[in-house]
Structure 1
Amino acid sequence: MTLAEWEEAVQRNAEAIMAGEKVKQLSVLYDTPQHAQQFIELAKRAGACRDLRIRCKAALLDEKGRTIISPKTKMPVIGWSDWRPDIHKAA
Structure 2
Amino acid sequence: MAGEKVKQLSALFDTPQHAQQFIELAKRAGPCRDLKIRCKAALLDEKGKQILSPKTKMPVIGWADWRPEAIRAA
Into which bin does the TM-score normalised by the smaller protein fall?
A: over 0.9
- TM-score in terms of structure 1 length: 0.76
TM-score by length of 2: 0.92
Secondary structure at 1:58 match in 2: strand
Structure 1: which 4+ aligned runs deviate by more than 4 Å? none
Q: In the comparison of the two structures, how many residue pairs are matched?
A: 74
Partner of 1:63: 46
Stretches of structure 1 that go unaligned for 5 or more consecutive residues are: 1-17
Sort the Cα spacing of 1:26 and 1:90 in 2 relative to 1 into closer, same or farther, 3 A.
farther
Instruction: For 1:59 and 1:83, locate their aligned partners in 2 and report how far apart those are by CA, in whole Å.
Output: 12
The higher relative CO (CA closer than 8 Å, separation ≥ 6) is in 2
Measure how far apart 1:19 and its partner are. 1.5
Distance in 2 between the 1:47 and 1:74 partners? 44
Query: Which protein is bigger by CA-based radius of gyration?
Result: 1
> Identity percentage over the alignment?
84
Distance in structure 2 (CA, Å) of the matches to 1:45 and 1:58: 30
Return 5+ residue gaps in structure 2 as ranges. none
